[in-house]
Amino acid sequence: MEACKTVSACTAGAAEATHVFDILGYSKLRGMGNKPESYIRSGIFAVGGYEWAIRFYPDGNGKESQDYISVYVELLSKSTKVRASCDLKLMDHCTGLSSSMHKTEPRIFNSGDVTAFAPQTSEFQRRSDIEGSSYLKGDHLKIECIVTVFDKPHVTDTRPGLCKIGMPPSDMTEHVGRLLEDKEGFDVSFIVGGETIEAHRLVLAMRSPVLKAELYGPVREARPGQCITIKDMQPGPCSISSIPILCLVARMRIPR
Q: What percent of the chain has pLDDT over 90?
A: 57
113 in a domain, yes or no? yes
Give the model's confidence band at 256: pLDDT under 50 very low, under 70 low, under 90 confident, else very high. Answer: very low
164 in a domain, yes or no? no
- Structure-model confidence comparison of residues 185 and 41, the more confident one: 41
pLDDT in tens, 69-86: 999 999 999 999 999 999
pLDDT at residue 46, as a whole number: 97
Same domain, 39 and 127: yes
pLDDT in tens, 184-213: 778 888 787 778 888 877 777 777 777 777
CATH, residue 137 = 2.60.210.10
d(CA 5, CA 159): 9
List the beta bridge partners of residue 156: none
pLDDT at residue 169, as a whole number: 72
CATH, residue 194 = 3.30.710.10
Number of domains forming the structure of the chain: 2
Same domain, 33 and 151: yes
pLDDT in tens, 138-182: 999 999 999 999 999 999 999 887 777 667 777 777 777 777 777
Same domain, 177 and 129: no
Name all contacts of 206-209 with Cβ < 8 Å and 24+ positions apart: 207/247, 207/250, 208/247, 208/249, 208/250, 209/250
114 in a domain, yes or no? yes
With b for 16 or more beta-carbon neighbours within 10 A and e for fewer, the 127-145 pattern comes to beebeeeebbeeeebbbbb
Same domain, 151 and 190: no
Same domain, 179 and 219: yes
Same domain, 103 and 138: yes
pLDDT at residue 219, as a whole number: 57
241 in a domain, yes or no? yes
pLDDT at residue 143, as a whole number: 97
Distances from the Cα of 118 to the Cα of 6, 103, 163, angstroms: 42, 9, 49
2 in a domain, yes or no? no
pLDDT in tens, 223-239: 666 777 777 666 655 44
- Structure-model confidence comparison of residues 48 and 255, the more confident one: 48
d(CA 233, CA 141): 101
Same domain, 32 and 137: yes
Same domain, 25 and 119: yes
176 in a domain, yes or no? yes
With b for 16 or more beta-carbon neighbours within 10 A and e for fewer, the 48-85 pattern comes to bebebbbbbbbbbbbeebeebbbbbbbbebeeeebebb
Q: Which helix (H) or strand (E) holds 73?
A: strand 68-75
pLDDT in tens, 236-250: 554 444 444 444 444
Same domain, 53 and 179: no
Same domain, 15 and 135: yes
d(CA 114, CA 120): 8
Q: 229 is in which domain, residue-wise?
A: 172-251
pLDDT in tens, 105-137: 999 999 999 999 999 999 999 999 999 899 999
Last residue of a domain, one of 155, 182, 206: 155
- Structure-model confidence comparison of residues 250 and 60, the more confident one: 60
Same domain, 150 and 27: yes
